Amino acid sequence: MVDTTKNTQIYATWGRKMAKPVNPNVAGKMIAKAKRPLLVVGSEIVDNGQLIEKVVAIAKKGIPVAATGHSITALIDKDIGAKYINVHSLGHFLGDKNWGGLDGQGPYDTVIFLGHKKYYLDQVLAGLKNFTDLKNLAIERHFMQNATLSFGNLKPEVHLEALDELIENI
Amino acid sequence: MSDLETGHFSIDDLENVQITIGKIVGAIEKKAKEEGVEVGPTPKPGISGLRDWDYTLLSRYQPVYTPVCDQCCYCTFGKCDLTGNKEGACGINMEAHQARETLLRVITGAAAHSGHGRHILHHLIELYGEDKPIDVGPSNLVAPNIQLVTGIKPETLGDLEEAMDYVEEQINQLLATIHAGQEGAAIDFESKVLHGGMLDHVGMEVSDLAQVSCLGMPKSDPEAPLVEIGMGCIDASKPVLLVIGHNVAGVTYIMDYIHDHDLEDKIELGGLCCTAIDMTRYQTDQGQKPQAKVVGTLAKELKMIRSGVPDVIVVDEQCVRADVLDEAKKLSIPVITTNEKIMYGLRNRSNDSAADIIEDLSSFKEPGALILNFDTLGEVAPELAIKMAKIRDEIGIKALPSDEELQELSAKCVQCGACEMDCPANLPIMEAMRAGVENDFSKFEYLHDLCIGCGRCDQACPKDIPVLNMIEQASRKLISEEKGLMRAGRGQISDPEIREEGVNLVLGTTPGIIAMVGCSNYPNGTEDLYKVADEMLKRNYIVVMSGCSAMDLGMYKNEDGETLYEKYPAKFLAGNLINVGSCVSNSHITGTAIKVAAIFAQRNVTGNYEEIADYITNRIGAVGVAWGAYSQKAIAIGSGCNRLGIPVVVGPHGSKYRRALIGKPYDEESWKVYDARDGSEMPIPASPEFLLTTAESIEELFPMLAKNCIRPSDNNMGRMIKLTHYMELSQKYLGHMPEDWYKFVRTETDLPLAKREELLKILEAEHGWEIDWKRKKILSGPTMKSDVSSQPTNVKRLCKGEC
C-alpha cells in the first residue's frame, strides 16, 4: 500500500482548517460511496500520457468529468463524456444549490481534483472550503491544504502508483 | 445675490448668509452652463453616488472569494479565524473581509497611480505654470475619464489639480472604511472596490495628460517611433546607467544632461518598467529619436542587476524591488533614489554638490544617495556612471558563476524540493539541477523565459545555491539574443479615429478590442503574449497594449524576424496593434470606450457615468487581458474597467487576487435588459459572462476572448463575425465546438455563412428549433428576439416614459 499521508508541508498559504492527509484506498472508497461525485481535471495532464490514462480509468468507473483549461483536448477522443468548463466558474457554480450540474442532474456532493496547477487549485479550493459544504478530494502530486482530504507531496512515480491504488478501490 | 470673485469680506454682523465656495459648490455646473454643456447627474460622485449602478452589475456578476489566508490579522483582537465564513471578534465575516481586502488592494493601486500623478503634475506646474494648455493631439474630448467622473473639462494643467483633489479625497474616504468597526456588508465593499477602480483611471489620466502635454511625448501618434527593447540590446561595453520605476520626472533631467553634454554615444541609458517606456517617449513628438533603450519589465530587474552590467542604478517609484540596494551593493553598483516613496534608508544628499556625491559614491564611502534635487540628479547619474564603469572594470566585478561552477553548484543540490514549492510557478528546478550535474544546462536555459525573476528559490534553498544566477548564466546566449522593437507609447486614441472606427465597434463588424495590459507574472513565459496578440490580430481584432505587456510583446519575432509592432500598423482600426504607453496610459483604453459613447453615439459624457457605463456594457465588445497581473495597480485598473462594464481576464496567478466577479449563465433571470424604446424587458446572451475571472492557459483564453466580445447590440453581421471567431477558436484550441454557441443565435443571419446549413441542422436535431428549410429560416427556438434597432439598457430611467 502506498502511504500518501507523510509529507504535508505547506509553503505559501495557511489557515486554521487544513486538509486531512488521506491514503489512496480510503480516497477510492470515498469516491465509490459518493452520491454525486465529479472529477475535475486540469490542463497539466495534457502533456502527461500517464496521467491521462488515470483520468480515463477513473472516468470509466462512472465518475463524470469536468475538463478545465484546455485539458479537454486530451480527453475529447476518450469516450468519457468530459465537458469543458472554466475552473473559476466551476468553483462558483459548485456552491450554488440551484445549479443543475454539467449534465443537468443537479449539484454535486464530492469533488475530486487532478492535474491542476498547484497555486491555482489552492485558490479554487480556498473558495470551496470557506463557502460550501462540499467534500473536496485532492489526488494531486502535491499537498493541497485547502481541500477536505489530500495526498501529501509525492514523487511523480509514487503519485502514479497511488492513483492506481485509488482506482482499484473505486 | 452677487458673486464674489476674489478678495476678503467680513460677515460678522450679517444674518442668513449663504456662502458658495468656488470649486466645491456648483462651480462645475455653473461653468458648464456658461459653456452650454449639459451636466449629468453624478459629477464628482461620492462613495454612494454610483451605488445603484454597482448593485446592477453585482447582481449579474457575483463576487467569488478564494482567500489566501483564512484569518483576519488586522487588529489586536486577532488573529480571528474566519474559516467557513465565520464572524471575527469585530463582527466581520469572511465574505466581507475578503471584499475589504480587495478594496485595500484596489485603493493601494489607485494611490500608486494618483500619487505618481500628483507628483508629476506638481512638478510640471512648477516648471510650466498652471496655465500651460493640455495638448494630447487632435481631440476635443481630451480627458474622457476626468470629464465623465468629475464633470470637469480640463484645459490647463491647473484644471487637472481639481480632478486630483477629488481623487485624493475619495481615496481617503475609501481607506477609512477599511478600519475595523465600519462597513460590514460585502456587497458595499464591492461597490467601494468599483469606486476605487474608477478613481484609478482618473488619477492615471491626470498623470499621462500632464506628461504628454509637457514632455514632448507622442500625441495620439500612430507613427510613434519603434524603440529597442530587451536585455540583449544593452551595450555593456559602454558605461551603463540603468533607471527603474514608473515616474519619469527626474529622469528627464538625466536625459537632458546627456543630450546637452553630447554624451549620447558615450553612455548606455537603459530603463526597466514604465519609466523606460516614458523615457522612449520623451521629446519625440517632433520627430526626435528616442534617447533610451528598454530593458524590460519588473521580471528583468533582478536578472539585470545580477548580470553586473549596470554601473549605476537610479530608481524612482512603484514596481521597484525592495532589495535593489542590497543586490547592487554586492556588485559595487551605486544606487540613487529620487522619490520620497523609495528612499532605502539612504542619506539625503539633495543639497550637496554633485562633485561631493560622486566622490562619496565612487569611493564606496556610501552605497548610494537620496537625491530629490533633479538638477543635481541630472548631473550625478551620468557622470557617476562614466566614472564607475572604469572603477568597476578595474576591480574586475564577477557577477555570475562560470560553467564549471554551475556543475559544482548543481551537485550541491540535495533534491529537497523547497525551491520548486516556493517558486510562484512551481517550476521544475530540481530537474535542471539533476541535468546540471551531468554538465547539461539546457534545462536551466528552458527556465529562463518561464522564470519571473522573483528570487524566492534562492531564499528557499537550504544549501544557499544561487538558483537565479544559475539560470541566467546558463541562458546567456538567449539573453544576448533577447532584443526586439516595440512602439513607443502613442498616447490617446484621437477623436477623428473614433469617428472612423466607432460604428464598426458598436455594430460588431470589428469583432472586438483586446486590451492586453498588466504585469509580467505570466504562467508560461512571455511568449504567450505574442501568441495571443498575433492570433487576435490575424482575426482583425484591435489589440491594445500598455505597460509591461507592451514591453514583453516587443521581445518576440516571427519567422521573418519581425516583431508584431513592425508587422501591424498602429491606428485605431481593425487588425491594428496599438501601444498606448506606460501604466498610466491605461486610462486611454477606458478613455477610448468613453469616447466611442461620447463622440460616435453623441451621448453626454460630463458627469454622466452611469449612462456611459451602461452604453459601454451593452455595445462595445472589449475584453481586457492582464495575463501576468500581480500588482495592486493591475487590480485597480481592472476594477476601473469593470465599473464601465468591461470584462477582464487574468492569468491563473490572478486567482491570488482572491476575488472574481462571475455571472451564472444558467440563471436566466440575470440575463435581461430593458429596451430603452419602451421599457420592455428583453433577454440577452450571457456575454460578457464575467467582469473579472481567470483562465488556466492561453488555449482556454482564446475562445473566452472571442465569446466575451459579444454584446446585446451586435447587428447580424457583427454577431456572425463574433460567433465565427468563437467557434473557430474553440475548435482550434479546445478541439471542439463550444457547447453554448446556439445561445448566441437570434436568427439565421447570425450564423457563420459557410456553416449555416450544417448549423441549422444541429439546431433542429439537437435543440429542437423549428426551421423552414425552403427559405433556410429559423421559425422558433431562440430565446432572444432579433431586433437590431432595440436599445438595450440596464438603467430603467433611461427608458422612454421613465423618469
Q: Which chain A residue has its CA at the smallest distance from B72's CA? A: A15
**What is the block-wise mean pLDDT of chain B (803 residues), using blocks of 10 residues?**
56 64 64 80 97 98 96 89 93 97 98 97 97 96 98 97 98 96 95 98 98 97 96 96 97 97 97 96 93 94 96 97 97 98 98 98 98 98 98 94 94 94 93 96 96 95 97 94 94 96 89 95 94 98 97 93 96 97 97 96 96 97 97 97 98 97 96 95 95 98 98 94 98 97 96 95 97 95 86 94 68
Please report the pLDDT score of residue A9 as a whole number. 67
| Contact yes or no for B688/B661 (Cβ under 8 A) | no
CB contact under 8 A, B704 and A83: no
> Are residues B690 and A89, on separate chains, in Cβ contact within 8 Å?
yes
Res B6: pLDDT: 55
For B742, other C-beta atoms within 10 Å of its C-beta total 18
Binary contact (A124, B704; C-beta < 8 A): no
Contact B69 A99 (CB under 8 A): no
| Structure confidence at residue B20 (pLDDT) | 54
Give the containing element (helix H, strand E) for A22.
Answer: none
CB atoms A92 and B660 under 8 Å: yes
The residue among A9, A17, A70 with the most chain B CBs within 10 A of its CB, best to mutate, is: A70
Q: Is A17 part of the contact surface with chain B (CB cutoff 8 Å)? A: yes
CB atoms inside a 10 Å sphere around CB B702: 25
Q: How much is the pLDDT for B673?
A: 96
Residue whose C-alpha is closest to residue B118's, from B339, B294, B328, B309: B339
Angstrom CA distances, A123 to A12, A44, A131, B352, B785, stand at 11, 16, 12, 51, 39
Residue B10 has a pLDDT of 64
Residue B274 marked as a ligand binder: yes
Q: Is B723 in contact with B689 (CB distance < 8 Å)?
A: no
Helix H, strand E, coil C: the string for B696-720 is CCHHHHHHHHHHCCCCCCCCHHHHH
Q: Which of A120, A122, A148 to mutate to test the interface with B (most CBs of B within 10 A)?
A: A120
φ/ψ (deg, to 5) at B268: -105, 115
**How deeply is A28 buried, as exposed, middle or buried, from its count of CB atoms within 10 A (0-12, 13-18, 19+)?**
buried
**Minimum distance, in Å, between the CA of residue B396 and any CA atom of chain A:** 39
Q: Which of B488, B490, B498, B583 is nearest to B140 (CA)?
A: B498
Tell me which DSSP letter residue B87 carries. B
Answer whether A11 touches B (CB < 8 Å): yes
Which of A120, A142, A153 minimises the CB distance to B655?
A120
Q: Report the share of chain A in percent with pLDDT over 70.
A: 95
Q: Count, in order, helices (H) and strands (E) of chain B.
A: 29, 23
* Secondary structure letter of residue B479 according to DSSP: H
Contact B67 A72 (CB under 8 A): no
B419 vs B248: CA distance, rounded Å: 36
Which residues of B are less than 8 Å from A84 in CB distance? 734, 736, 738-739
Q: Looking at the partner chain, which of A14, A16, A70 has a beta carbon nearest the beta carbon of B700?
A: A70
Between A and B, how many CB-CB pairs are < 8 A?
Answer: 141
How distant is the Cα of A164 from the closest Cα of chain B, in angstroms?
A: 24
State the average pLDDT for chain A.
94
Q: What angle do CA B586, B107, B493 make, to 5 degrees?
A: 15
A96 touches chain B (CB under 8 A): yes
Chain-chain contact of A9 with B62 (C-beta, under 8 angstroms): no
Chain A residues touching B697 at Cβ < 8 A: 43, 69-70
Average pLDDT over residues A28-52: 97
The dihedrals phi and psi of B665, each to the nearest 5 degrees, come to -60, -25
CB A45, CB A74: distance < 8 Å: yes
Give long-range contacts, CB 8 A cutoff, 24+ apart: B437-444: B437/B407, B437/B410, B437/B411, B437/B413, B439/B407, B441/B403, B441/B406, B441/B473, B441/B474, B442/B474, B444/B406, B444/B470, B444/B471, B444/B473, B444/B474, B444/B475
- pLDDT, tens digit, 9 for 90 and up, residues A129-157: 999 999 999 999 999 999 999 999 999 99
Beta bridge partners of B543: B514, B577
- Please, which residues 45-84 of chain A have a Cβ atom closer than 8 Å to chain B? 68-70, 72-73, 76, 83-84
Q: Collapsing DSSP states into helix, strand and coil, what is residue A103?
A: coil
Q: Is B319 annotated as a binding residue?
A: yes
d(CA A64, CA B538): 37
Contact B697 A43 (CB under 8 A): yes
DSSP H or E stretch at residue B138: none
pTM metric for this prediction: 0.95
Q: At B176, which amino acid appears?
A: A
B-chain residue closest to A41, CA distance? B696
Residue of A nearest to B68 (CA): A13
| Record: contact B68-A123, CB cut-off 8 A | yes
Q: Report the residue from B653, B658, B695 with minimal CB separation from A86.
A: B695
Quote the CA–CA distance of B403 and B207 in Å, as a whole number.
Answer: 47
Residues 6 or more apart whose CB falls under 8 angstroms from that of B254 comprise B241, B243, B269, B314, B377, B378, B381, B382
B548 carries a ligand binding annotation: yes
Residues of chain B positioned with their CB less than 8 A from the CB of A100: 666
What is residue B470's DSSP assignment? H
- Apex B433 CA angle, B430 and B437, nearest 5: 145
> How far apart (Å, rounded) are the C-alpha atoms in residues B762 and B756?
10
Q: CA-to-CA distance for B582 and B21, rounded, in angstroms?
A: 37
Which cell numbers hold the place of B290?
528616442
> What does B319-377 look like in DSSP terms, one character per residue?
S--TTHHHHHHHTT--EEE-BTTB-TT--B-TTS-HHHHHHHHHTTSSSEEE---HHHH
Q: Do A98 and B667 touch (CB under 8 A)?
A: yes
User: What is the predicted pLDDT for the residue at A6?
Assistant: 78
Query: Is B69 annotated as contributing to ligand binding?
Result: yes
Rounded CA separation B161/B170 (Å):
14
B777: three-class secondary structure by DSSP = strand
- From CA A96, how far away is CA A114, in angstroms rounded? 22
Residue A23 has what pLDDT?
98
Q: Which of chain B's residues have a Cβ under 8 Å away from the Cβ of A73?
A: 699, 733-735
Q: Which residues of B touch A11 (CB under 8 A)?
A: 421-422
B233 is in an annotated binding site: no
- Say how far residue A19 (Cα) sits from the centre of its chain: 13
CA neighbor of B744 nearest in space, from B663, B692, B671, B641: B671
Q: For the CA atoms of B107, B108, B109, B112, what is the dihedral angle to 10 degrees? A: 120
**Nearest residue of A to residue B65 by CA position?**
A127
- Distance, C-alpha B776 to centroid of its chain: 46
**CA A95, CA A126: separation in Å to the nearest integer?**
12
Provide the b/e sequence for B609-620 (b: ≥16 CB within 10 Å).
Answer: bbbbbbbbbbbb
Q: Is B803 annotated as a binding residue?
A: no
Residues B560, B556: Cα–Cα separation, whole Å: 11
Min distance A86 CA to chain B CA atoms (Å): 7
Beta carbons of B784 and B746 less than 8 angstroms apart: yes
What amino acid occupies position B647?
Answer: P
What cell was used for B610? Answer: 452611469
CB burial of residue B515 (10 Å; 0-12, 13-18, 19+): buried
Please give, one letter per residue, the 3-state secondary structure of B444-466: HHHHHHHCCCCCHHHHHCCCCCC
ipTM: 0.94
